[in-house]
Amino acid sequence: MTTDFDHWLAAQYGEYGPFTVFIILVLVSDDEIAPLKSSYAHVIGSDLSWREMRRLLDGTGAGWNGAAFFVGLDRAGGPLDDEVAARKLKEVEADARADALAFNRGLLVDREGRQLRVEEVAQ
């Protein structure tokens, strides 16, 4: 079965070619989304399925139930070098911790690879 993640990855690769992806594993509850762990990877093809990605994410031991993915590009439109990617990951993490709505700027999925959205709740 093709997931929202699979569609997203194919669309991003189709639009940008190789790119850097920032990944934040999260714990989602009814009223909160808490970042657990994060990393980045360089995407050089669109043949990674959600099942394969989930197996990699499960290897972290983070106890996650959601994952967020954000595209990063260098000035020429390709993957970021590692030094820049590491700095940019810290910015992406800080944005997500400061405002949960920042997760909507990327792709947020559940463990089945289905897209989630963060909604603002009136108090």
Report yes or no on 119 lying in a domain.
Answer: no
Report yes or no on 123 lying in a domain.
Answer: no
- Residue 1 pLDDT class (50, 70, 90 cuts): confident
- Count structural domains, the chain: 1
Report yes or no on 10 lying in a domain.
Answer: yes
* Nearest one of 14, 15, 99, 113 to 69, comparing CA atoms: 113
Tokens read off for 108: 């947020």
Report yes or no on 122 lying in a domain.
Answer: no
Tokens read off for 3: 């997931």
- pLDDT tens sequence across 57-113: 999 999 999 999 999 999 999 999 999 999 999 999 999 999 999 999 999 999 999
Report yes or no on 116 lying in a domain.
Answer: no
Segments forming the whole domain that contains residue 82: 4-111
As a whole number of angstroms, the distance between CA 78 and CA 3 comes to: 25
Tokens read off for 52: 């394969």
Contacts of 85 (CB under 8 A, 6+ apart): 20, 22, 40, 42, 72, 79
pLDDT reported for residue 68: 98
Per-residue pLDDT averaged across 12-24, rounded? 98
pTM of the model: 0.95
Report yes or no on 117 lying in a domain.
Answer: no
Report yes or no on 107 lying in a domain.
Answer: yes
Report yes or no on 30 lying in a domain.
Answer: yes
